[in-house]
Amino acid sequence: MVSLKDGFPPDPPDSLLDILDRLGVGFYRSDGESRIRFINKAGAAIYGCTPEEMTAGLHTYDFDPRGFDRTALRRQVENENFIGSFVSPGIKRDGTQIYTTSTVRCLHREDGTLVGFEGVFRDTTDEVLRVREQTALIGEIQTVNARLMRISALQDHLLSSLAHDLVTPPVVMQGFTELLLKGRYGAIAPEQEKPIRTIHRNVHLLSALVGELLEFTRFLKIIHASEAGSSLLGDAWRAVTHELSEQSKARQVAFALSPDFCNPEVKVSSAILHPILENIVLNAVDFSGQDSTITASIHAAQGRATIEATLERLHPEHPPLDRILDRFFPDPGELCAPEGVRSGLGLAAARYAANLVGGDLDCSALRGNGLALRLHLPL
């Protein structure tokens, strides 16, 4: 509140008005009836007018949009004697709607009589519209997120149902082929035994693949829902190879570390990195020939770490090298093999998951029937 002996205070000095004009900040004074008594050039320009036009009998409410209630705002200023940084709509001379942010105080005589108001304001139309756009966008994101949450819950229910519905028919088929092989429905001809056993083995494989594919789908949901995390790549590799050491011994495959094996921190949580490495190790063991070694090396450069698993020698029945990274399931030729059908998801699963976390997986043939698998992850 400003107390005056009589009337309005003198106009602000030209030096102050020049600063406000250069900053694009408006300064005004109005009397008790809201007539504009003074306004600087920048303030008038915000409304598309000149100071002379606005002080020629115009009121502050002449620039209010239709429906705007200034009464409550004025009452608040009078009660508090001051109001700061309030945003209000306005109308320019040409009818364009704008928004201003203002700070206003009351002007009183020494006896307490209200003389008028003065304040500063600036055009914040762009800021208001940007905030409105952001608010609308946040609302849309919240709506989409709620929808995705509902879909996620339905997916969980659907996956549980699929796990039962998809596995039940193969289990029934497997049971009947076992009964056929045991002679429950009569003796089978010698030439029929091999195809029946092949059917039995592939039905069993189908059940396992359905379960693994459903587990992989759940794993993808974990990737999409997980928050940012990190883990040590070398420690993760050691943990996975230790857990799978029994499988490697059964295949007579050994694990080794190169002399330059290091332990960089990658931008992938252990809950995601561990399954990716497990998939790579299982496939590497499957592809390796007996009495061979898988040697791991790690190096980091240019914002990413690379772990390379070098397979010393491939199994004679390994898949074509140009299809190794495209393999989700066993090749058709393997399904007809009499023994040793590989189970589990192929490297296509690891490559897909690696790309989801900002990495990649590639491979190349090595001299002497070897293979190098390279997993790239962000540091």
Are 234 and 347 contained in the same domain? yes
Mean pLDDT throughout 47-66?
A: 92
**Which residues 6+ apart lie within 8 Å of 6 measured at CB?**
109
The domain of 55 spans 2-123
d(CA 327, CA 258): 28
Q: At which of 225, 256, 287 does a domain end? A: 225
* pLDDT the model gives residue 338: 42
Q: At which of 202, 225, 248 does a domain end? A: 225
**pLDDT tens-digit readout, 176-187:** 888 888 888 888
d(CA 169, CA 188): 23
Q: How confident is the model at residue 160 (pLDDT cuts 50, 70, 90)?
A: low
Mean pLDDT throughout 348-356?
A: 88
Lowest mean pLDDT among 178-187, 262-271, 339-348: 339-348
Are 59 and 142 contained in the same domain? no
Are 165 and 138 contained in the same domain? yes
**pLDDT tens-digit readout, 215-232:** 777 777 777 777 778 999
Are 210 and 348 contained in the same domain? no
* pLDDT the model gives residue 6: 53
Q: How confident is the model at residue 333 (pLDDT cuts 50, 70, 90)?
A: very low
**pLDDT tens-digit readout, 163-177:** 667 767 777 887 888
Residues 308-332: b if buried by 16+ CB within 10 A, e if exposed: bbbbbbbbeebbeeeebbebebbbe
Are 369 and 297 contained in the same domain? yes
Q: Which amino acid is at 73?
A: L
Are 255 and 315 contained in the same domain? yes
Are 93 and 150 contained in the same domain? no
**Which residues 6+ apart lie within 8 Å of 62 measured at CB?**
none
Instruction: Give yes or no for a contact between 363 and 351, defined as CB atoms under 8 angstroms apart.
Output: no
* φ and ψ of 167, to 5 deg: -85, -30
Q: What angle do CA 44, 47, 53 make, to 5 degrees?
A: 50
CATH number of residue 172's parent domain: 1.10.287
Q: What angle do CA 131, 132, 137 make, to 5 degrees?
A: 95
* pLDDT the model gives residue 4: 54
Q: Which amino acid is at 373?
A: L
pLDDT reading at 337 higher than 50: no
DSSP-based three-state secondary structure for 135 = helix
d(CA 104, CA 125): 19
Mean pLDDT throughout 285-304?
A: 88
* pLDDT the model gives residue 11: 84
- Of all residues in the chain, the percent with pLDDT exceeding 90 is 36
Residue 147: both structure tokens together: 């929808």
Lowest mean pLDDT among 11-25, 99-113, 324-338: 324-338
Are 219 and 354 contained in the same domain? no
**Alpha-carbon torsion, ordered 274, 365, 332, 354, to 10 deg:** 30
Angstrom CA distances, 303 to 40, 237, 372, stand at 55, 20, 21
Residue 145: both structure tokens together: 């997120």
- Number of folded domains that form the chain: 3
Are 374 and 242 contained in the same domain? yes
CATH number of residue 305's parent domain: 3.30.565.10
**pLDDT tens-digit readout, 26-54:** 999 999 899 999 999 999 999 999 999 99
Q: How confident is the model at residue 91 (pLDDT cuts 50, 70, 90)?
A: very high
Are 327 and 190 contained in the same domain? no
Mean pLDDT throughout 262-275?
A: 90
Are 373 and 232 contained in the same domain? yes
d(CA 274, CA 288): 21
Report which of 199, 32, 200, 214 is spatially closest to residue 116, judged by C-alpha positions.
32
Q: At which of 123, 141, 159 does a domain end? A: 123
Are 104 and 164 contained in the same domain? no
